[in-house]
Structure 1
């Protein structure tokens, strides 16, 4: 059996290391200092080394001893030469990474073994294998080489200028249609859209990876593999091995390869914006919206996120000129943990000292993000796979806790090859930390008052909408201005409709002449027919005149007027149904509160009690008195301002048809007679309300603002925030957390076992 000697433990004067002949070095400039990329062609791995390490490795020909190489390194490099301990560490690393030739095997045997090692499945944690299934589908290098002449135009400067202009235009168009775009998100996640969303996602990601390969090939790299990776067994994620770009001397070429996928996705998303805006309901409109949604939201959360080892990470690493940023950040977090938990007083990692702010910040943020992602994945597993998911998540949590405990004990008693902590000082520090956590949970008192979204509303508000389309000719009011009933607020003009009115008047005159003529000629049947025709013309005249009169907007009640960007209205053409102005009465607003079902008991016990109100965009808090909670929960939408599609806190979903007549009334109620009169004043909004529903049924409640100083005079309909119930008994933080965890786990288990 071939034996690979451990050069790291042999005397430097004896070992004669020989570097593998298939390794390749590429020069790179790193912040003005020379560095080299060591490329392992057999295993498709890349390592970045400094000038001293490069000079030391290049001399490993199997004839000179490590001591001779170290002496030459000191002579050629000078003060920055490797020390003997550093040389021993490098030799150990070369053996561990299988970068040295064996003493008893020839090149063909080594290549055979390396190929076998490469094709053999890599040992990974079982949970990682289950959650991230990887399926290579072949070597695309030759195919990408054939595509390159046809697609290379998309990697040039001309296409980049087109890309910039197109994205700017698409951003402007999307901003003009932002409200409809946000409202459409409710349908994007519905089951009936999953097929189109999945199709758009898979197509985008396939193009994404192809563009990585095209840019890599365009700069001369080899692309040896691509494939599919399944996240949680159901979410397909394509990948391409573009690691050959790491040996590029120019960091901008490396950045181009890393950004290529997002580059083409944003280009396609920009094209989809114009398709979505200019098409009506149908497959084309749906696919275009899904393309925008997938290429923006998913790309930002994953590919552009530098805290994950995707495109954004490699771009950030090259922009900062910090190779192996994630590894260096992790080393810093490990050192910081040893220092804080065990009292180790060793120096920080050398890489951290070079750029402490960037590496330290990234390491801490990446550490937090990994935990967030892990918690999210465990939650998804528990929800997606029901009982099996809960068991899998439990095993994962137990495994992480036990592994962390074992590593901590090993480090505490052995130091794991580094400085060993002082046992007494470390145990004292850990005891104090644990005691502090327990004391905080016991002595810190909290008031776990539930927060509930709330919105300001005015009983009797009037929304002035366009009945007859036309151009805005005059705007005679300002936002927030006090107005009186009958005051003219705005005037529209429609020359076509005025001409139509004149033509109708002329037709009436002709009809009267004809009718008089028929009467004089005693043509009774013609006279009666013409009389009917004249009556229809007069009705048409009245209707047209009413439409023209409606183009003059008058205040229906005394109050204050509000509108969106009133100064820019002049000269704009408004379609029927467009809301122009809202007149709020002089009466004080009320507070509409949407309460989760689990807080119903608290709601009942606090009727007539004060609540604390905090509004978005307003400083300070106000007090209101809880007046009347509704008797039953409903999924009907309480107010448009509270919907997630409009920037509010309540998630909604599309509803193909109304469930009951009562919920139909919820969206159309205008008077105060109904128990759910908080839907008053939503006339035309009723269609938007009726087409959507809350994802979970909620209770509605009302509160009356208490008389107090500092209430904003310009408070308008739709301003939302949160209310918090006051005078709730305090609880210990630790007890409250434990109860919440037990209740959550119990509910999840009951859902799985069907006991609920």
Structure 2
């Protein structure tokens, strides 16, 4: 027998009956009695107040709604629901199949026939979200294997263990604050694409621990694990457990404790990692611990605490708001609003009133926006990651994800057309207009924003004193911040081999001159000419070596202040020709070096000779003028402070063995960049310290939201792919 459409049922005439599988139980909330409702086969929970429960309990299949209202009024007096409120409550009960007409059978339902698109066989093929249960309460193979694992760790959620765990987390936070500079300087490399394989492995391991924490907390507090398994998000595996049975617990704080258990155990792992990090000296161990801290500490907050997805934060919020089915109720409220305002239909109001209704509506809009954003982001990611096949995956996934809502909408339109054609046309026109507007905003409207280019303040190149020859530093005659004048002695180098080379060349020239004069005296003109050419060549060599010998004594090339930290430590070290040793400059002798990506270089070149805005880390804005842009890109990074390994924004990779690199160069950019020189006026340059990282705002880009999202995902994917390839060399 087919079930009747709830929209065709008249609650004032039809006798209703509570479904046989629905369970009610009382709870005390803020000193008042409320009732929880559960549909066990669907793992769905609801909450109603005492007054609503009294009305619902009177629906025994023999009583009409007006009769039930009269009986409720006799029992509750002025607290009884009004006839309009009673009608709204009954419509809500029918929509959730908590009650059914007395002349219809009890609804037949199971997880396989629920509304969840992922529970039917077509939904299970969605590449964006493939759920594979590994346990279950009804007939699943090895259905209880998770229970002994959870039972083994339930001690972690005893009162004493929780107190110790919280103290450990507090101690780790305190230690992290004390060693913050050390942590941030070393942890910057965690974001490098070279480390993404490590991050993924760490993340998957921690998520298994996370879900085990939920199961263990549920066991500890008397709840059970309804289901456990693996969900594949764009083929990336992620463990999950269903502990929705925790809603049977009467203590709200125990339910919140179960929801927070996964994040709690990850914070314990992060806390232990912080403490071990302060004691470890092994680079490999420190690298692993940094990954654990970032993933278990930071990403857990960003991912699991997100209330817009049905993860830990969502269930905590639902418990705090006392709305067991927050997402479902929010979406239903959005449907009521759409039917009321787009189609002009008279819709029953929500069971929630006051501030809860405001929160419900705000949450519904935010959750809907988030879901659509994630859906299309995954589609773009699939099309980017899997090339041509990815487009098929993207279309297939989006179709499956949106297919059922579209099917329901079409069914609603068909039913409405037969009853009220005018409302149907009005709603279709308004819905189409909204859909076209949203599509135009995402795919058609350009978003003009400044092109942001990472940059750093540096002293002008002509103020840098470089070694003119190779040698050992024997004496340093200046110190940092000392004022010097042009010609003052700065550093002395020693290179006996270079002086010996000069002496040998001088002797060779003397011999050649003697031979040339002898050839002239004997009248051998051709030999004299050859020897004269050799003498000239030796003179050139002597001049070059003499210049290098003279360069062993470095003198100031201008007046100014010496800028060189720890310059005294140079004594006894080996320097090579061309190595920068110190800088002599005034405070105004600075410029900005911007490192421009290939996709930005054309925009930056259009700004040559123009003023651009420069933003500091404190959001102060100054002005500069684009002076030049290198004609060719390179992977060498002239500003190491901008690399991800030093806390900067640019992704880098290690220098491979096949590449020629300077002794101090250990990393290269993942893709070629172009250096751009930006000039500053004297007053601005004096206020910016050398080495400060900046953001330069050069020109404008007018891409759409969709294009920007696609380029971002493509860039991240190609960076990680290139980093993995370079890491294997």
TM range (shorter): 0.5 to 0.7
Q: Which residue of 1 aligns with 2:57?
A: 58
Instruction: State the 1:719 CA deviation.
Output: 2.1
Mapping 1:205-216, distance limit 5 Å: 205-216=207-218
Instruction: State the 1:426 CA deviation.
Output: 7.4
Q: Which residue of 1 aligns with 2:659?
A: 660
Mapping 1:348-387, distance limit 5 Å: 349=350, 351=352, 353-355=354-356, 357-387=358-388
Q: Which residue of 1 aligns with 2:474?
A: none
> Is the CA contact (8 Å cut-off) linking 1:208 and 1:260 kept in structure 2?
yes
> Is the CA contact (8 Å cut-off) linking 1:6 and 1:92 kept in structure 2?
no
Instruction: State the 1:161 CA deviation.
Output: 2.7
**How many matched pairs?**
605
Q: Which residue of 2 aligns with 1:640?
A: 640
Counterparts of 1:346 and 1:120, CA distance in 2: 26
Q: Which residue of 1 aligns with 2:133?
A: 136
Q: Deviations over 1:34-80 (max 9, x none)?
A: 32111223343322223233223434555656654443223223343
CA RMSD in angstroms, aligned pairs only: 5.2
Question: Secondary structure of 2:631's partner?
Answer: coil
Q: 1:81 and 1:359, CA in 2 relative to 1: closer, same or farther beyond 3 A?
A: closer
Instruction: State the 1:29 CA deviation.
Output: 3.6
Superposition TM-score, scaled by structure 2 size: 0.68
Counterparts of 2:80 and 2:145, CA distance in 1: 46
> Is the CA contact (8 Å cut-off) linking 1:197 and 1:290 kept in structure 2?
yes
> Which of 710, 715, 721 is the aligned partner of 2:688?
715
Question: Secondary structure of 1:717's partner?
Answer: coil
Mapping 1:189-200, distance limit 5 Å: 194=197, 197-200=199-202
> Is the CA contact (8 Å cut-off) linking 1:563 and 1:582 kept in structure 2?
no
Counterparts of 1:298 and 1:348, CA distance in 2: 39
Q: Deviations over 1:690-712 (max 9, x none)?
A: 333323221111121145x6x26
> Which of 182, 186, 190 is the aligned partner of 2:189?
186
Counterparts of 2:635 and 2:423, CA distance in 1: 60
> Is the CA contact (8 Å cut-off) linking 1:560 and 1:586 kept in structure 2?
no
> Is the CA contact (8 Å cut-off) linking 1:52 and 1:81 kept in structure 2?
yes
> Which of 695, 699, 717 is the aligned partner of 2:674?
699
Q: 1:434 and 1:143, CA in 2 relative to 1: closer, same or farther beyond 3 A?
A: closer
Q: Which residue of 2 aligns with 1:244?
A: 245
Counterparts of 1:560 and 1:593, CA distance in 2: 25
Q: Deviations over 1:602-648 (max 9, x none)?
A: 44454444433333325333132x22322321222332332345443
Q: Which residue of 2 aligns with 1:527?
A: none
Counterparts of 2:5 and 2:409, CA distance in 1: 28
> Is the CA contact (8 Å cut-off) linking 2:131 and 2:230 kept in structure 1?
yes
Q: Deviations over 1:713-752 (max 9, x none)?
A: 43101223333446x8xx9x6xx6499689979x99xx9x
Question: Secondary structure of 2:317's partner?
Answer: helix
Q: Deviations over 1:326-351 (max 9, x none)?
A: 33443555566678867889897563
Q: Which residue of 2 aligns with 1:597?
A: 598
Q: Deviations over 1:646-681 (max 9, x none)?
A: 44332x1431536532xx24xx6xxxxxxxxxxxxx
Q: 1:557 and 1:329, CA in 2 relative to 1: closer, same or farther beyond 3 A?
A: farther
> Is the CA contact (8 Å cut-off) linking 1:262 and 1:299 kept in structure 2?
yes
Counterparts of 1:408 and 1:101, CA distance in 2: 25
Q: Structure 1: which 5+ runs fail to align?
A: 464-476, 487-555, 565-580, 669-685, 752-756
Q: Which residue of 1 aligns with 2:613?
A: 612
> Is the CA contact (8 Å cut-off) linking 1:612 and 1:725 kept in structure 2?
yes
Q: Structure 2: which 5+ runs fail to align?
A: 137-141, 467-478, 486-557, 567-581, 719-729
Counterparts of 1:297 and 1:285, CA distance in 2: 17
Q: 1:81 and 1:446, CA in 2 relative to 1: closer, same or farther beyond 3 A?
A: closer
> Is the CA contact (8 Å cut-off) linking 1:148 and 1:214 kept in structure 2?
yes
> Is the CA contact (8 Å cut-off) linking 1:330 and 1:363 kept in structure 2?
yes
Further displaced range: 695-704 or 292-301: 292-301
> Is the CA contact (8 Å cut-off) linking 2:617 and 2:693 kept in structure 1?
yes
Q: Which residue of 2 aligns with 1:47?
A: 46
> Is the CA contact (8 Å cut-off) linking 2:633 and 2:673 kept in structure 1?
yes
Mapping 1:74-113, distance limit 5 Å: 74-78=73-77, 79-81=79-81, 83=83, 86-87=86-87, 90=90, 93-94=93-94, 97=97
Instruction: State the 1:313 CA deviation.
Output: 1.0
Q: Which residue of 1 aligns with 2:391?
A: 390
Q: 1:248 and 1:450, CA in 2 relative to 1: closer, same or farther beyond 3 A?
A: same
Mapping 1:267-278, distance limit 5 Å: 267-278=268-279
> Is the CA contact (8 Å cut-off) linking 1:187 and 1:653 kept in structure 2?
no
Mapping 1:222-621, distance limit 5 Å: 222-233=224-235, 235-281=236-282, 284-331=285-332, 333-334=334-335, 349=350, 351=352, 353-355=354-356, 357-394=358-395, 450-459=451-460, 460=463, 484=483, 558-559=560-561, 585-621=586-622
Q: Deviations over 1:278-298 (max 9, x none)?
A: 334466444433322321243
Q: 1:191 and 1:333, CA in 2 relative to 1: closer, same or farther beyond 3 A?
A: same
Counterparts of 2:433 and 2:13, CA distance in 1: 50
